[in-house]
Chain A
Amino acid sequence: MRPATAWAVVSLRFREVLQYRAAAWAGVFTQVIFGFIILMSLRAFAASGTADSPLSPEQLTAYVWLGQCLFTLMPWNADRSVVAMVRTGSVAYELVRPVDTYALWYCRTLGWRTSMVCTRALPLLVLVGVVFPLAGLDGWALPAPASAGALACFLVALAVGVLLATALGMLMHVTILWTLDPEGVTRLAPAFVMLLSGMIIPLPLFPDAVQPLLAALPFRGLIDVPLRLYGGHIPVAAALGPIALSAAWTAALIVLGRWMMARGLRQIVIQGG
């Protein structure tokens, strides 16, 4: 697919999802509450624990708030428009386009995902980054990045994380070609995605024994790598390794997704006559 075509698909789906403003505001509200609960719990643990916390108080605060900003980046749910397409047979129209079907869906998924992330992340960033300090809630506000280099690494890692999240989400979309229904996979996925990405508990707080496993799995590239780079928990000098691993996972998952989709489309039954 040509870049201009890919961009057209991404931006169209982005704008389509932007229509659902109420959902976005509800999401922002939920994430604020979640953020406070997680932050308060983790601070209480840090204060009562005997060992030093692996994350400094600033790193912890940044990790939690940015994590909440990126909550909708988590590839745990399916795009309802894709589900509807497969269920009703409108997927037939996707297959009569002179473009690669995987690429077309990847772009759709990317537009949907980024639209949801932007509508929730931007208001929340303003809230925790600007409103909290102005309101005198300095202790709860989003700390600045560790350095300009850390911010740059964070942005690069986040971009890779978005592509990774889309590749993971595509696996889910492809399975609908067989199951016709996302229920099963969207119940299974959150258990892995939420825990192993660091969304519920920051990954540095996990026991040392499981750290090598967490580092090897793809889920870490979603938010953990970017957020640790932001707070300086991973220094700029060591940024390349984890980012490259996330990129490699992204490429591998795209190859897997394409292979599954090719198989799925060979056996597809277009529903509804």
Chain B
Amino acid sequence: MSQIVVESLTKVFRIAERRAGLRGALAGLVRRRNREVRALDGVCFQVGRGELVGYIGPNGAGKSTTVKVLSGILVPTSGTCEVDGRIPWRDRRAHVRNLGVVFGQRTQLWWDLPVVESFELLRDLYAIPADRFRAVGDELTRRLDLGGLLNVPVRQLSLGQRMRCDLAAALLHEPGVLFLDEPTIGLDAASKLAMREVVRTINREQGVTVILTTHDMDDIESLCQRVLVVAEGKILCDGSLASLRRTVSSERHLIVDLAEGISWNGLDGLPAREVEVAGGRVRLGFDPENVAAAELIGRLTARYPVRDLLVENPPIEEVIAKLYAGGKA
């Protein structure tokens, strides 16, 4: 049975419209004009226990709103969702006890105090037994490399350091469900890798269910078996990364490094298209259903002396951008 069930979830925000200019501002004092924004428009999906799902979409698509409704913070306008059989906003306290959340653009740490003080407060808030707190804390400190940070006031931490501490803070009470809302935004490579490694580990080894929203496709490629794409409050696509690629285009790329001194003379009948030619490196796009990679390579190497070859999928950013563009049409 699914652990998270979301059914036709809709959230409408009423926003007071501010008209531009002095006249607009004065008019606004007398009569408020309200505009309705449909942040979520009938979102449905299910997530099984132990899944790691990427939740992606352009800015303003409704990703964060979904996470906030699932966290019990926002009350939806209509529709339902259940996590472990509980309705988050009705049964908020029981629900959040088993929930870890990271909001990438904010911090849950106490700004003026050393990190360890925030951790100890969380221990009290979640009533974590002392031995579990120590064991989990030590483990996270090692994995996220927090050793030197625990006694530093939060305001003195870099963004990457703070986000690693924030992730640890969300995991101290060993939640069974983890929501990560843009956790890697603005982070350097080392911090991103450390965070991904921890998320992967708790998902694989402890079976924690994870929903990850992000704009970083490397996060998705390295972590998620399944991806939900949302745009304008609706789910556009739900499936594996591979199936997502197929819905947009099945094209793959063959990157060819020609031998020294050989120049590219065009496709000359090869069943592919030129994507890019730069110096001795040629990038060809081909459809694997039309021509197998081995056959294409065979025909290519028969014609050109080749130094190196590489077959890869087109960058996921391109796939996603096409998908977003298609969804708007």
Interface string of B1-26 (1 = CB under 8 A from A): 00000000000010000000000000
Question: Which chain B residues lie closer than 8 Å to A4 at the CB level?
Answer: 124
Interface string of A113-124 (1 = CB under 8 A from B): 000000000000
Question: Which chain A residues lie closer than 8 Å to B111 at the CB level?
Answer: 16, 81
Question: Which chain A residues lie closer than 8 Å to B112 at the CB level?
Answer: 16, 19
CB-CB nearest in chain A for B60: A273
Q: Are B106 and A99 in contact (CB under 8 A)?
A: no
Q: Does A92 contact B (CB under 8 A)?
A: yes
Q: How far is the CB of B270 from chain A (nearest CB, A)?
A: 47
Interface string of B94-136 (1 = CB under 8 A from A): 1011010101011110111100010011001111000000000
Q: Are A100 and B124 in contact (CB under 8 A)?
A: no
- Within 152-196 of A, Cβ neighbours of B (below 8 Å) are at none
How far, in angstroms, from A97 to B108 measured CA to CA in the complex? 11
Q: Are B73 and A272 in contact (CB under 8 A)?
A: no
Q: Are B124 and A273 in contact (CB under 8 A)?
A: no
Q: Does B214 contact A (CB under 8 A)?
A: no
- Within 75-105 of A, Cβ neighbours of B (below 8 Å) are at 81, 88-90, 92-93, 95-100
Q: Does B93 contact A (CB under 8 A)?
A: yes
Q: Are A96 and B96 in contact (CB under 8 A)?
A: yes
Question: Which chain B residues lie closer than 8 Å to A12 at the CB level?
Answer: 110, 113, 117, 121
Question: Which chain A residues lie closer than 8 Å to B120 at the CB level?
Answer: 8
CB-CB nearest in chain B for A97: B125
Please pick, from B106, B113, B125, B126, the residue contacting A92 in the complex, using a CB distance under 8 A: B106
Total number of B residues with any Cβ neighbor in A under 8 Å = 33
Interface string of B60-83 (1 = CB under 8 A from A): 100010001001111100000000
How far, in angstroms, from A9 to B75 measured CA to CA in the complex? 27
Known: A16-B113, A268-B74, A269-B13. A98 touches B93 (CB 8 A): yes
Q: How far is the CB of B315 from chain A (nearest CB, A)?
A: 25
Q: How far is the CB of B4 from chain A (nearest CB, A)?
A: 16
The contact sample of 28 A-B pairs, CB cut-off 8 A, is A5-B124, A5-B127, A8-B120, A9-B124, A12-B117, A12-B121, A15-B113, A15-B117, A16-B112, A88-B106, A90-B106, A90-B107, A90-B108, A92-B68, A92-B71, A92-B103, A92-B106, A93-B103, A95-B72, A96-B72, A97-B126, A98-B94, A98-B97, A99-B93, A100-B93, A270-B68, A273-B60, A273-B105
